[in-house]
Amino acid sequence: MSIEDQINMTLDKIRPFLQRDGGDVVFDSFEDGIVYVSLIGACDGCSMINETLDAGIGIILKEEVPGVIDVRTTASKEENKKAE
């Protein structure tokens, strides 16, 4: 099973908790140990987005998927590319 498959399976476990509050998470890519996701619905623009990523999604992905070292939003990836 690929790392991407493992990431998606893990996100499927997390997704119901986000959907309960009107949000969701979408896997975008995995590069150099970093999982890039988009948060949509109520999660998009939520003031708790960093806590959701760090204390929720990030911890679970790091525990369940070998090789994951961080989780970031796809928007942060795009901002870094623009800065280069």
pLDDT in tens, 11-42: 999 999 999 989 999 999 999 999 999 999 88
Q: Tokens for 14, please give them.
A: 């997390």
User: What is the band of 46 on the pLDDT scale with cuts at 50, 70, 90?
Assistant: confident
* C-alpha distance from residue 53 to each of 22, 48, 49 (Å): 16, 9, 6
pLDDT at 42: 86
pLDDT at 80: 56
Burial environment of residue 62 by CB neighbours within 10 A (0 to 12, 13 to 18, 19 or more): middle
Q: What is the pTM of this model?
A: 0.86
Distance CA 64, CA 11 (A): 10
Backbone angles phi, psi at 41, to 5 degrees: 65, -140
